[in-house]
Structure 1
Amino acid sequence: MVAVVLSAQATDKSVNIATRILFKIANTPEDIFALGEQRLAEYIQRIGLYKSKARHLIATCQILVEQHNSIVPNNRTELEALPGVGRKTANVILNTAFGEAVMAVDTHIFRVSNRIGLAPGKTVLIVEQKLMKAIPKDYMVNAHHWLILHGRYICKARKPDCTHCIIADLCKYKDKTV
């Protein structure tokens, strides 16, 4: 959960570097809470928005210790009640940690879903709802990762690489580069 909260508006590389160091020192809610906001911020300072993330994580760890027996909850309502955890973060946790068939829609998935016509929508929630209907349940646990990777490496925001796209023949993007 800590890595997911840290990943908002940050690169995987920066999160991996920070958590590799942090988790050697503190890898439980009790340990992270004991660090305090200032010391936690030192470990995650290479990550964007690190001060607010440190504040949220300290508050979240306190709640986990005091209200959840130091266990990350496995339901959306309790997850979204934690500081720094919104719908997308809750969906990532539910999907990757608990194997639930939910869809976390980030900017990559939003872009890809609209471009290719899989689940067009004006809001993240509309795209999420349409993806939940369009993707068979058996594929849902991995679909999030497949769509993110497609958006990062093929269907990129500024310059989509349509010549290497395996679904170019199905894509509805009007400005294809092929």
Structure 2
Amino acid sequence: MMKKWMALLALAVLAGCAKNADGLGAADLRSEAYFRGERVIPLTFAQIQMALFKHEAACGSAPRFAMNPGQTAYATLTDAPAGSDDYRQTIVADLMYYRASDLGSWLTKDEERDWRTRATVYSYYAGAQVDARIEQIFSAIAHPGECSGASPRPDEPSADGQAPADK
């Protein structure tokens, strides 16, 4: 009986961590009211992760990639302002890794080309600023070495190729 109570207590603690103080959690964002768009990324999960690692190395930060436990075809990208755990400020992109239609693979012989990732994007807020942040997420994947709006790391050379100490 004690084990059941401890398990329930642990579950309650974990459930409390998944939401903000105002009760908004990542699962709450996944509704039609907060839907901000859908995109197809012609990359595998591994390629997306590599791009995000490169972007973080070049720019100092990147959206967080996390595989869904026990489901190899599903993952989540989250982008929150630095130091914030407020889901009202967070952009969530649910990723699904899939293969294009059988017709497409019949027409093309390149098997690797048929694998892609669908991203479904959610955000509490809408508007031009959120749209720009969503663009930055996908730009970090498509062009990992470019830091649009973000400042490069201090130890990185500047655009003219000189190290910061050389200036």
Q: TM-score, normalised by structure 1?
A: 0.24
Structure number with higher strand proportion: 2
Could you state the TM-score of these two structures normalised by the residue count of structure 2? 0.25
More helix by share: 1
Radius of gyration: which is bigger? 2
